[in-house]
Amino acid sequence: MRRLLRVVMLIRYRFFLYAGLLPYLLGAALAYASSGVNGAMFWSGFGGVVLAVIGVEAFNEYFDARMGTDRVFNPADLPPISDAVFWCGVLAFASALAVGAYISYRIGWPILAFALLGGLAGIFYEAPPIRWSYRGLGELVIGLAYGPWMVLGSLYLSTRALSWQAFMASLVPGLSIMSLAVVNAIPDYHQDLLVGKRNLVVRLGRAKGVLLYLALAGAALVIIAAGVLAHFFPVDCAVALVAVVPLIMSARRARSTFTTPRRFIPAVQALVAYYTLVTGLFTAGIVLHTWRTAS
């Protein structure tokens, strides 16, 4: 039971809910607006996403611990990482690939392509020999994986087609999760610098990191506003613009606390709220418009 609880604890909320499920649901909402959702494929894909998220978290925990990222300033306070965490990640990724192969057999090779791209992003975000996060590419990889690849893959499950509208919609969670990846790195600046993790915050500095994460989050709101004005997105999607409130809260906090990790945490929490609102309400706007026009 203790081992089972440890596995469950690996599935942290920030990956399971915010990063994984919301973009997947956005793709399903776009499918619903287009031609309807294939229930069997939706739930199969849902299972594959959950497995992939477990694999991402397990690998991140394991390789972060192996590199000593979380133990730079408190090496005696954290127990050594178990090899079971690594094998949990291997099993999760292998199972997710099996789900992707099954769905690809049912509806076509593009699903396998999305699964492989997502797998390469998740596995090698922290793992050698690539280690995207150590090369300044981690944030971009996260944006692609939880933006276009997740949303378009989810759409294709039900429609077997892609669209420019879906691609533009996928930039909303993509830019937002990229912003979240940047803001999460600001409190970890010193330990990332010491272990050689050359992410964007380490490369640019914390002050420019604050400007970058705010610009990325703001760009997602601009895409929504421009899309609604151009009638590219339904007007119901404009409700997602209320996410500007937690974004402003995050910005106000970040300006004066980016050099003090403990005091900076509320800025991160406000951006998590922003991500949840902007992606969740944008998805809800698409569903609501489709439901209203169909009834």
Q: pLDDT tens across 244-256, in order?
A: 999 999 999 999 9
Give, in order, the Cα–Cα distances in Å from 98 to each of 27, 109, 110, 115.
21, 13, 15, 10
pLDDT band at 54 (very low <50, low <70, confident <90, very high): confident
179-199: per-residue pLDDT in tens? 999 999 999 998 888 888 889
> Can you give the pLDDT at residue 208?
96
Among 180-184, 230-234, 291-295, whose mean pLDDT is lowest? Answer: 291-295
Question: pLDDT above 70 covers what percent of the chain?
Answer: 89
| Cα-based angle 155, 160, 161 (whole degrees, multiple of 5) | 75
CB-based burial label for 77 (10 Å; 0-12, 13-18, 19+) = exposed
pLDDT band at 8 (very low <50, low <70, confident <90, very high): low
For residue 162, what are the contacts with CB-CB under 8 A and spacing of at least 6? 110, 152, 155, 156
For residue 240, what are the contacts with CB-CB under 8 A and spacing of at least 6? 172, 221, 224, 277, 278, 279, 281, 282, 285
Question: pLDDT above 90 covers what percent of the chain?
Answer: 64
> Rounded to whole angstroms, how far apart are CA atoms 73 and 134?
19
